[in-house]
Chain A
């Protein structure tokens, strides 16, 4: 079966302070692809360039050199407002620090990307309720972020990431600020989205153990890809009978 490409990165370079004596290159020609429906992890120590890579994958930043195609869209040629629309519709961000909007309840937080997408009020409220129900946050949807625990906040953030039914979910250390039990819960939600809804998920982490839970592991070191290995997820899935 011909796999459909979701991400296609070719010879991506990224340099900072270009044209100054401090100029330095962080990414030295990254090549990899992610197929539709894949659960991939990018693993690397701090300083390996994984944050820079994540910014490029998330269309928050542009590569200095190279070609990046996201769900058929050439990032190179997109204008700033087109990148905004791309982030809005094709990418669902999940951050380590949750990044929920303060003084705004869970429901409104989940509605936010749909508001920027121009969806009508009634439609987006219905969808936000549905998404919060999926992550088990139905009871607390009228609570503000400061009334929620870390795990609850991250569940709201995942619901928000799913708001516009994105092409990929980009999760940056989603369990980094959580205890292991809560982290387990969050990972289970990702697996559920992957298995039941066929979501493409890119997990960025420094933890080799966590990366084992995915289908494919891309190891980053000093701005280059050291290698790609298969993850343990198929085995775990088989064992747990999912």
Chain B
């Protein structure tokens, strides 16, 4: 009951001296607003990075061949000429189909997909006046399953297409709009010719997929480049790279597999079995999950550092509150004496002034939160991220401003509570 009385009293006090109250709150407002703004921007970036990386696949492991860092190189590379002059990657350094097959025999249960792709290049399909820009990439069967295209018409690739390296392709509805005036049935079975930097490739259209315009690229125009899917083996045949190994392979693990731990197993398997005698190259495996984690950690560390710096202004704001409380108590010495004569205990005087300080801080905190959200949203939008407010930050900010109120209000309030009623009554 005394609490409500005190809150009403504090509000009346704030109202009676609006200018002073606002100036006192300003420190808290600026402090809370900057913390919230920074947290909002940081949160927006984290959410954005996470969704983008999740889209790329949290269960993906990239198995790549990379240069070995020898102890000699890392310590004396500056002294030895030619130490950095490692030999080019050779045929025997690449990952081979045999390696992959024997690996899959052992660990196939953990692998959902083995993604292989080979890019033929970007080119232009032309037919008289009609044209469309495409990216030609060959994908293996697993990759096609993994990508899970939404087919509007026709079919996906069949085993024969891969085995015989058939010159078949799946095009986007966008492509059909440009080249066949949207007539899907006319498109199916037709052959198209694509010019990739002077080389001509011909494919038969067997399927049409729904083009998903991703929100981050510019709105679709006539000139949008869409993907043209061909079988992996077809791409390799056309590029004459059938017998080459792979510089990198992407593995998609099953959901039950701990992809981060599995990454080490894979790395060990290849390095012990195939690369132990290779002096210059080794296999490294990176998991998307660990990349997401390290990115998130990095962003939150930066965010925390900035928030702490902003938090310093909160302390300054708190000192401002304390200063005003001390002034206010001196001004109201006689009132304190009167209250004590009327029966106020030290505790109720203390409560009155702590409430006043907390009310100032919480009001400042609320204004700060609103200001911070607005600032953060504007900044995030300006930087090209969709703003996402950190709920944790708001809860923490409210609790923190209350804490500041109690902390910086306690000393003045205690001073008031301990005033001698006789001296206080006599104070002019």
Binding site for B on A (CB under 8 A): 55, 58, 60-61, 80-81, 84-85, 87-89, 93, 95, 99-104, 112-113, 115-118, 120-121, 160, 164
Given contacts A101-B338, A115-B2, contact A89 B421 (CB under 8 A): no
Q: Is the CB of B344 within 8 A of A84?
A: yes
Given contacts A102-B335, A103-B13, contact A89 B343 (CB under 8 A): yes
Contact with A along B337-359 (1 / 0, CB 8 A): 11111111111100000000000
Specify the chain A residue showing the minimal Cβ separation from B341: A93
Q: Is the CB of A84 within 8 A of B340?
A: yes
Specify the chain A residue showing the minimal Cβ separation from B9: A104
- In the bound complex, residues from chain B placing their C-beta under 8 Å from that of A118 are 1
Check B73 for interface membership: any CB of A closer than 8 A. no
Number of interface residues of B (CB under 8 A): 24
Given contacts A55-B422, A99-B334, A101-B335, contact A113 B342 (CB under 8 A): yes
Which of A85, A87, A100, A104 has the largest count of B CB atoms less than 10 A from its CB? A87
* Distance in Å: Cβ of A128 to nearest Cβ of chain B: 13
- In the bound complex, residues from chain A placing their C-beta under 8 Å from that of B5 are 115
Check B425 for interface membership: any CB of A closer than 8 A. yes
Which of B341, B343, B421 has the largest count of A CB atoms less than 10 A from its CB? B343
Q: Is the CB of A101 within 8 A of B1?
A: no
Q: Is the CB of B343 within 8 A of A87?
A: yes
Could you list 22 examples of A-B contacts with CB < 8 Å? A60-B421, A60-B422, A60-B425, A80-B346, A84-B345, A85-B343, A87-B340, A87-B343, A95-B425, A99-B337, A101-B335, A103-B13, A103-B16, A104-B9, A104-B12, A115-B2, A115-B5, A116-B339, A116-B342, A116-B343, A116-B344, A164-B343
Q: Is the CB of A81 within 8 A of B346?
A: yes
* Distance in Å: Cβ of A227 to nearest Cβ of chain B: 27
Q: Is the CB of B342 within 8 A of A60?
A: no
Q: Is the CB of A93 within 8 A of B13?
A: no
In Å, the complex CA distance between A100 and B334 comes to: 10
* Distance in Å: Cβ of A205 to nearest Cβ of chain B: 18
- In the bound complex, residues from chain A placing their C-beta under 8 Å from that of B425 are 60, 95, 99
* Distance in Å: Cβ of A208 to nearest Cβ of chain B: 25
Specify the chain B residue showing the minimal Cβ separation from A85: B343
CB < 8 Å: which of A58, A80, A85, A164 contacts B341? A58
Q: Is the CB of A61 within 8 A of B422?
A: yes
- In residues 1-46 of chain B, which contact A (Cβ within 8 Å)? 1-2, 5, 9, 12-13, 16
In Å, the complex CA distance between A99 and B16 comes to: 19
In Å, the complex CA distance between A164 and B424 comes to: 23
CB < 8 Å: which of A55, A103, A113 contacts B12? A103
Specify the chain A residue showing the minimal Cβ separation from B342: A113
Given contacts A55-B422, A99-B425, contact A113 B338 (CB under 8 A): no
* Distance in Å: Cβ of B16 to nearest Cβ of chain A: 5
Question: Can you add 16 more A-B contacts, CB < 8 Å, to A60-B421, A115-B1?
Answer: A81-B345, A84-B343, A84-B345, A87-B341, A88-B342, A88-B344, A101-B335, A101-B338, A103-B12, A115-B2, A116-B343, A116-B344, A116-B345, A117-B343, A118-B1, A164-B343
